[in-house]
Amino acid sequence: MTAKPWEVAADLVMNYGMPVFPCGEDKQPLTPHGFKDATTDIEQLDRWAAMFPEALIAIPTGNISGLLVVDIDPDGAAWYSQNGDRLACGCINPTRRGWHLVYKMPAGLDLRCSASKLAQGVDVRASGGYVIWWPAAGLTAVGGLDDLTAPPGWLLDELIPATPSAVAANTAAPSGSIAEGRRNDYLSREAFRLKKQGCDPAQIAATLRAINETRCSPPLEAREIATIVAGKARIEPDAPPLMVSDFYAYMPENKFIFVATRELWPAASVDARIAPVVSAGETIRASKHIALTRPIDQMTWAPGEPMVIRDRIVKDGGWSAQPGRAVFNLYQAPAPQRGTASDIGPWHAHLMRIYPTEAAHIIRWLAHRVQRPGDKVNHALLLGGAQGIGKDTVLEPVKHAIGAWNFQEISPKATIGRFNGFVKSVILRISEARDMGDIDRYAFYEATKVYMAAPPDTLRCDEKNMREHAVANVMGVIITTNHKTNGIYLPPDDRRHYVAWTDATKEDFTTAYWNDIWRWYATGGLANVTAFLADLDLSDFDPKAPPPRTPAWREIVESNRAPEDAAMADAIDALGNPPAVTLAMVASRASEELRDFLLDRRNARAVPHRLETAGYVAVINDSAKDGYYVIAGRRMPVYALRTLPVRDRIAAATALGRRRE
């Protein structure tokens, strides 16, 4: 592209499927057939860019693009000021002399252009017209095509009877009058058709009144029209028509991403909902057009990034520059909601009641998730206490603040399974972690370590019926449990858990207490906590630093010290605390009880954790498939001091093998 306007034109075509054509400074088309020459052919845009580098970019309105535009000139400023609150427009483009209010063309209506029908200086651009896309000329718009809304019913109520051509285009009325005896039946069928096409009661009533006044002989009374409209109120409308801009083509699977839900559709479903597209004089299937103009090379989930990430791809190590490539971001941000940040009394009082000494850290952790969902916080919250004391009540406003779809809940065992779609969450809550036996507790701790801290900067996401893909490792983990001394495993050197505990019980709270909090939530409290967390100063919160060690953290660590731990330390002391040991070496100096524990195959998965508690970790022999060392003719694992560098651990294990041969 040779000029900025044509870069915008390419964006309109590739990201929204909008046909465009060039106009001159006088806003007159520069092509022979005007808006009928509008196209989504990128090659044609390149040719026009070379021919008309300074052109204004125009979009046809009406059914060609699915846009309805209210064009307001200075003479219409008073009308705009009077009706501004009722216009409810998500996309407003300033023009050189006024404003364009850009709406979706309602289903089932084919409105024609009109001049000053709504008011002096207020024109309607619909079927048969076009508008200059002024943002391409450097003017700043409010909202964009992603923010389009349907026009309000009251506006259509004024437009439909004011444009006889629209009434004619949207009714199947026969030529001539509708005689007495046929009027109710005809108008009832017409109301049914309009309702199925998605029209609201005001739109239906306006259309029926226009038909009644111009075709019915004699016209029905107004109350009869109202009765017909009311009779169709419970009819479910057909699904609204979809547009090219509702989809992207996911090339690795030859499927199509439905933007509204992020689900994958087959080509046949896309073509069933979108009419064939005319481009450069050729009619092609909508799915083919989307594949040509809106291709996606990769999917990911990355808070803080745009919906379509250009000129980069994500790899296991993070982002890599790849000009011309496009990645679709599955993350969906919450809708902006603002309450009164100073009015958080019931929520804050409840948090202080159950976690008075830990509340400050909990609040900062939660605020970090709200303010910086694209950054990793390198430790989990472990919230403990009896059932029925309101742990869910504390978290409810946060779920609201980050978007309920970004807050997922799983069981502890789900962290060990194959499928891990839960990694696409701003907050992951692992509910009711409890005593699962020594082996499972250790496995749970090992499985969750990768989710609690970064690096790695990306995680592999494996979901049923979807291609495995990399996502950003930004998930914050919250673990809730009712068990302190027989709950999850925490080793003495743990730096990944902030533990908050309460001695409150269910009996400490009345039904009226819970009713008051949840009533406050429903009447603005959720929005208030959202505003508070969004505005909180986090300058004193370091998400990468190890969390403070609370008294509850120390109790859990001590509860995981088994009797074998002391015996293990005694045996290693008796060996002289060598740089590397084998189980046979430890067993040779162990008590009878510890020796039985070490040599029992049923404890094979627990033994490494006992050695780790004593300060020794397994050393992998990269030269052997099983990772073991050959010592005295037998293959066995070797453990080295954790405080040694990796190179020294390997050297110690190798030396041990030579010495024992």
What integer pLDDT is reported at residue 241 of this predicted model? 66
Give percent above pLDDT 70 in the chain.
Answer: 91
Look at residue 623 and tell me whether its pLDDT is greater than 90: no
Cα torsion angle, 23, 26, 27, 29, sign: negative
Look at residue 173 and tell me whether its pLDDT is greater than 70: no
pLDDT category at 2 given cuts 50, 70, 90 is very low
Is 175 or 462 the better-scoring residue by pLDDT?
462
What integer pLDDT is reported at residue 121 of this predicted model? 86
Strand 629-631 and strand 634-636: pairing?
antiparallel
**Are 363 and 398 a contacting pair, CB within 8 Å?**
no
Arithmetic mean of pLDDT, 622-639: 88
**How far is 660 from 271, CA to CA, in rounded Å?**
72
**How far is 33 from 19, CA to CA, in rounded Å?**
14
Which amino acid makes up residue 507? E
Look at residue 166 and tell me whether its pLDDT is greater than 50: no
What integer pLDDT is reported at residue 546 of this predicted model? 94
pLDDT category at 402 given cuts 50, 70, 90 is very high
What integer pLDDT is reported at residue 301 of this predicted model? 93
Arithmetic mean of pLDDT, 160-188: 59
State if pTM tops 0.85.
no
Which range, of 100-109, 195-204, 561-570, averages the lowest pLDDT? 195-204
Cα end-to-end span (Å), the chain: 73
pLDDT tens profile 298-343? 999 999 899 999 999 988 668 889 999 999 999 998 877 778 999 9
pLDDT tens profile 511-521? 999 999 999 99
pLDDT category at 172 given cuts 50, 70, 90 is very low
What integer pLDDT is reported at residue 196 of this predicted model? 66
pLDDT tens profile 96-131? 888 899 998 876 566 778 777 788 889 899 888 899
**How far is 451 from 478, CA to CA, in rounded Å?**
11
pLDDT tens profile 463-475? 877 788 889 999 9
**How far is 383 from 273, CA to CA, in rounded Å?**
48
**Are 54 and 138 a contacting pair, CB within 8 Å?**
no
What integer pLDDT is reported at residue 64 of this predicted model? 83
Which range, of 124-138, 364-378, 579-593, averages the lowest pLDDT? 124-138
What integer pLDDT is reported at residue 175 of this predicted model? 43
**Are 56 and 137 a contacting pair, CB within 8 Å?**
yes
**How far is 638 from 136, CA to CA, in rounded Å?**
68
pLDDT tens profile 5-55? 888 898 888 888 899 999 988 888 898 888 888 998 888 888 899 888 889
Q: In which residue are the tokens 């709200």 written?
A: 370
CA distances to 380, 414, 447, 463 from 417, in Å: 20, 5, 10, 11
pLDDT tens profile 582-604? 999 999 999 888 888 888 888 88
Strand 178-179 and strand 91-94: pairing?
unpaired
Arithmetic mean of pLDDT, 476-505: 88
Arithmetic mean of pLDDT, 437-448: 72
pLDDT category at 256 given cuts 50, 70, 90 is very high
pLDDT category at 171 given cuts 50, 70, 90 is very low
What are the φ and ψ backbone dihedral angles of 392, each rounded to 5 degrees?
-65, -35
Alpha helices in 34-138 (DSSP H): 42-51, 77-87
Which range, of 164-178, 302-316, 470-484, averages the lowest pLDDT? 164-178
What integer pLDDT is reported at residue 140 of this predicted model? 78
Arithmetic mean of pLDDT, 655-660: 71
Give the HSE-up count for residue 554: Cα atoms under 13 Å, Cβ half-sphere: 4
Q: Of the spans 172-181, 231-240, 422-431, which averages the highest pLDDT? A: 422-431
**Are 8 and 135 a contacting pair, CB within 8 Å?**
yes
pLDDT category at 605 given cuts 50, 70, 90 is confident
Task: Please state at what angle helix 592-599 crosses helix 563-574, rounded to 10 degrees.
Answer: 100
- ∠ CA(43), CA(9), CA(95), 5° rounding? 155
Alpha helices in 141-249 (DSSP H): 153-162, 164-169, 183-196, 201-215, 222-231
pLDDT tens profile 412-426? 888 887 888 899 999
What integer pLDDT is reported at residue 281 of this predicted model? 65
Is 464 or 87 the better-scoring residue by pLDDT?
87
DSSP assignment of 252-319 equals: GGTEEEETTTTEEE-HHHHHHHS--EEETTEEE-HHHHHHHHSEE-EEE--TTS-SEEEEEEEETTEE
**How far is 370 from 339, CA to CA, in rounded Å?**
14
Look at residue 398 and tell me whether its pLDDT is greater than 50: yes
**How far is 259 from 250, CA to CA, in rounded Å?**
12
